[in-house]
Amino acid sequence: MSSRTSFITRGRLSAVVVGAVAAAGITAGTAGAAGAQSLKGNITAGGIKVSFDAKRAAGAKAQSATGTFKAKGSPVAAMGLPEEVGSIELNGPITCLETHGQDASFYYPFDTTSTAGALLGNSGSGMIVSLKKESATRYKMGFTPMLSAFVPMVGCDSSVTPLFVTSGGWQTGK
pLDDT, mean over the chain: 77
Give the pLDDT band of residue 87 (cuts 50, 70, 90): confident
Q: Are 90 and 118 within 8 A, CB to CB?
A: no
Give the pLDDT band of residue 10 (cuts 50, 70, 90): very low
pTM of the model: 0.73
Integer angstrom CA distances of residue 135 from 31, 50, 102, 132, 148:
26, 20, 10, 9, 32
CA distance 91 to 123: 16
CA dihedral 136, 51, 121, 93 (to 10 degrees): 100
Q: How many CB atoms lie within 10 A of CB 173?
A: 10
pLDDT at 79: 58
Q: pLDDT digits over 124-139, tens only?
A: 888 899 999 999 889 9
Q: pLDDT digits over 12-44, tens only?
A: 333 334 344 444 444 443 444 567 999 999 999
